[in-house]
Amino acid sequence: MISKIQNYIAKAAEYNMRKPDDFIKYTGAAVNAFYYTCQATAFAKSKNIPEEKKKFVVSQEIGEGVLSTGITLYLASKFKDFGKSLVDKAKILPQYLPKDLRNPESVKNILNNTTEYTAKLTEFRGLIGTASTVVGIVLAYTVATPILRNIFANFINKGNKKDNTQIPTEMINQNIFKDFLTAPKKA
Amino acid sequence: MAILVGQKIIDGIKGIQTSAVKEKLCIAIPALIAFPTIDYFNKSVDEDTRKYSAAKSGIKVLIGALDGLFARYVGQMLGEKLVKSEFIKPISDEFKNPEKMKAFSKSVGKTSAFLVTLVSILVMDIPFIDKALNVAMKKLFPNKSEK
């Protein structure tokens, strides 16, 4: 059992060394998905949410989780490719590259053949991929997820004709803990 | 015309690749700026509520970020210690040379930081963030009751 865990951790670490941008992308998405799963479970188990609202609240949480995890993966992948393509097109280059090599043909040549700059430029291309992956994740968290959340909340409200009052997640959250803090202890 | 990237920035990006704490900082700082700003400029509510909700989302992101950074810091240290004590060793031959050991150690640190983060979500974020948020908001805005 322990040797298996050791193996998995070593394998994951080696994966990170080979593909650091993908590692950031997948761990970011996994943390996001896990967070929503825990939140949905907490709502499902909460005694402070009335039973008839539970289904709605939990499904909203799961829907949001799936959407935001998907958008994180999507934007991170797209931005990674975009960042790397900028290096291929010689739009972003390291300062140490001599002036006469700062054009797409030379860059392609360096990346595909073995020259004195090949190792360094390949590393640079990977680094730009990592940086743009992080930009993609940041946009997914700060811009795309809040917008999607609103659209999704409106959409789920339309489908839920019996209950037109939208309960924002935060409000439920607070109520759980407010009730928890103020409720008299049951004997 | 190409954008030229200096060595300092290159080293900075390498830092994101090797340290989970730096990676989290890069993601948390924009969120710390963005969420309160979005709430503050939300025109559909009155100014008083706007200030309140901006402060609230700021504090919420801050608590989450501090918790996340702490978890990653602990995880990173733990992972690097596991390699130092030879509890975790590289599998592939390409990483088995001493030159790559430092990078491998940081990489294991990043992996264990990820695992510790998952645990911290379960034991810290879900049960305590909203409680801490409520306490902080009550101290900051004692007159404003929750609607």
As averages over each run of 10 residues, the pLDDT of chain A (187 residues) reads: 89 92 94 92 81 83 90 96 94 90 89 88 93 94 84 70 49 44 43
pLDDT digits (tens, 9 = 90+) for B70-92: 999 999 999 999 998 988 888 88
Going by the DSSP 8-state scheme, the letter that residue B122 receives in this structure is I
Helix, strand, or coil (residue B89): coil
More confident residue, B124 or A130: A130
Q: Which of A20, A38, A42 sits opposite B17 (nearest CB)?
A: A20
Q: Which of B110, B121, B127 sits opposite A35 (nearest CB)?
A: B121
How many other C-beta atoms are found inside a 10 Å radius of the C-beta of residue B4? 13
Please tell me which of B38-47, B99-108, B121-130 the model is most confident about, judged by mean pLDDT: B99-108
Q: What is the pLDDT of residue B117?
A: 94
Chain B contact probe: residue of A177, A178, A181, A182 with most B CBs at under 10 A: A177
Q: What is the pLDDT of residue B138?
A: 82
**Structural element, H or E, at residue A143:** none
The boundaries of the domain holding residue B47 are 18-140
CA–CA separation, B120 vs B118, rounded Å?
5
Helix, strand, or coil (residue A94): strand
Comparing CA positions, the residue from A58, A65, A64 lying closest to residue A43 is A58
Cα–Cα distances in angstroms (integers) from residue B64 to residues A56, A113, A132, B128, in the given order: 26, 46, 24, 10
Q: Is residue B13 part of a domain?
A: no
Q: What is the pLDDT of residue A115?
A: 86
Q: How far is B7 from chain A (nearest CA, A)?
A: 7
Q: What is the pLDDT of residue B144?
A: 65
ipTM given for this complex: 0.84
Residue B24 pLDDT greater than 80, yes or no: yes
Q: What is the pLDDT of residue B43?
A: 74
Q: Is residue B5 part of a domain?
A: no
Model confidence at B42, in pLDDT bands (50, 70, 90)?
confident
Residue type, B11: D
Sign of CA dihedral A20, A25, A30, A32: positive
Q: What is the pLDDT of residue A186?
A: 43
Residue B4 pLDDT greater than 50, yes or no: yes
Portion 80-139 of A in contact with B at CB < 8 A: 90-96, 102, 124, 127-128, 130-131, 134, 137-138
Contacts of A95 (CB under 8 A, 6+ apart): B4, B5, B6, B7
Number of separate domains in chain B: 1
CA–CA separation, B76 vs B80, rounded Å?
6
Contacts of B17 (CB under 8 A, 6+ apart): A16, A20, A24, A127, A130
Cβ pairs A/B, distance under 8 A: 133
Strand-pairing partners, residue A94, are B5
Q: Which of B111, B126, B133 sits opposite A38 (nearest CB)?
A: B126
B126/A95 Cβ within 8 A: no
Residue type, B80: E
Chain A contact probe: residue of B17, B44, B102 with most A CBs at under 10 A: B17
Q: What is the pLDDT of residue A179?
A: 44
Q: Is residue B6 part of a domain?
A: no
Q: Is residue B3 part of a domain?
A: no
For range B26-51, the mean pLDDT: 85
Q: Is residue B9 part of a domain?
A: no
Q: How far is CA B82 from the centre of its chain?
A: 22
Structural contact between residues A88 and A104, judged by C-beta atoms closer than 8 angstroms: yes
Of A124-128, B33-37, B122-126, the poorest mean pLDDT is in B122-126
Among residues of chain B, what percentage have pLDDT more than 70? Answer: 97
* Rounded (10°) CA dihedral B126, B127, B133, B138: 160
Q: What is the pLDDT of residue A160?
A: 57
Q: What is the pLDDT of residue B145?
A: 52
Q: What is the pLDDT of residue A169?
A: 52
Q: How far is A160 from chain B (nearest CA, A)?
A: 23
Contact list, B23 vs chain A (CB under 8 Å): 24, 134
